Amino acid sequence: MNAPEPTLTPNRMTYREASKQALREALLSDPRVFLMGEDIGRYGGCYAVTKGLLEEFGEERIRDTPLSESAFVGAGVGTAMAGMRPIVEIMTVNFSLLALDQILNNAVTIPHMSGGQFAIPLVIRMATGGGRRVAAQHSRSLEGWYAHIPGLRVLTPATVEDARFMLKGALADPNPVIIFEHVMLYNMEGDFPSDMKEVDIARAKVRRAGRDVSLITYGGSLFKALQAADALSSEGIDAEVIDLRTLRPLDTKTIIDSVARTRRCIIIDEGWRSGSISAEVGMRIAEEAFFELDAPLRRVCSREAPIPYAAHLEDACLPQAATIVAVARELIRPS
């Protein structure tokens, strides 16, 4: 009865608060770090992630920008080339298209094109994903597009723990890093050990171990996959859930190891199916774990349409736990 008290007491907070604490920690620990983006200062951030930081760190380090995505992302590239550690917020991935030239043609190209003379230690944060009834132009999930680009690191924190600690890893990377924060996660609460200081951003993670099928996903679909796994367990199907966490470079080993155990795989991706990160994951499995497979590869992706406003249409567009359950069931117990 005198078992020692557990040394770890969980810290509990929202994903939003975890993201804010991560930024605050970065600002406190490195004077080269500064924030730049639309409405991150006075407004407190479109998703309230940066609320209070302006008051604490001042206008020079918490820089509100006009609606000039190309200019302020390019400025982020320039400051990174000239000795700073910028964290640029693009309000949502949808608007990042206005800055794509700076991301692709400059940020990820200059290190290589200059023969290694310059690194671009730039972190870009952006909200992503659908589910908020805000129609097509505000609901895209383009993580997979960015994951196509060599030279970028693409992070998709899907847990409070990752929201809290992935930024630190991103800032330690001498290369451009994009952090995608799914809009449906900001209010989610979660906990992590209070003595936790960092996470490994190089590895995917088994969020739930299982024997029968691997549900491979990332970002906003992680919790749908976990819900599906719960539902499946009541049917006696033991699903493993893999959180990719980093879409580029992909941690192929964790994927292959999981599929080699379960021999079945469903990839859940809020991106459109064609040419998606799910296609990439599937192909890697085909290349590296073909002989392990005991069932065809399956995917649950967004329907190939712009995300509509109407709730029933949007829900039908996006991957849902019920769909994952149905696909898993059919894979394991074909009717």
Site for another protein, rule CB under 8 A: 34, 60, 63, 65-66, 68, 70-84, 86, 101-102, 105-106, 110-119, 121, 150-151, 153, 174-175, 263, 290-296, 330-331, 334
Query: Minimum CB separation from another protein for residue 113, in Å?
Result: 5
Q: Which is nearer to another protein, 40 or 307 (CB)?
A: 40
Q: CB of 321: closest distance to another protein in angstroms? A: 21
| Exposure of 313 in the CB half-sphere (CA atoms within 13 A) | 12
| Nearer Cβ to another protein (80/199) | 80
Q: What is the Cα–Cα distance from 45 to 53, expressed in whole angstroms?
A: 10
Strand partners, 213: 239
- Rounded to a whole number of angstroms, the minimum distance from the CB of residue 126 to another protein is 17
Beta strand 33-37 pairing with 62-64: parallel
Catalytically annotated residues: 69, 138
Residues making up the chain, counted from first to last: 335
Q: ∠ at Cα 146 (140, 147), nearest 5°?
A: 120
DSSP state of 218: -
Q: Which is nearer to another protein, 13 or 80 (CB)?
A: 80
Q: Which of residues 8 and 172 has its CB atom nearest to another protein in the complex?
A: 172
Nearer to another protein among residue 212 and residue 270 (C-beta): 212
Q: Where are the beta strands (DSSP E) in the chain?
A: 10-14, 33-37, 62-64, 85-92, 123-128, 153-155, 177-182, 189-193, 205-208, 213-217, 239-243, 246-248, 265-272, 298-302
| In the complex, least distance from residue 38 CB atom to another protein, rounded to whole angstroms | 12
| Residue 179 C-beta: closest distance to another protein, Å | 16
Phi and psi for 239 in degrees, rounded to 5?
-95, 140
Residues 35 and 40: their CA atoms lie apart, in Å, by: 8
Task: Name the DSSP letter for residue 59.
Answer: T
Phi and psi torsions of 137, nearest 5°: -75, -5
Shortest distance, position 152 Cβ to another protein, whole Å: 9
C-beta of 258 vs 302, nearer to another protein: 258
**DSSP secondary structure code for residue 56 in this structure:** H
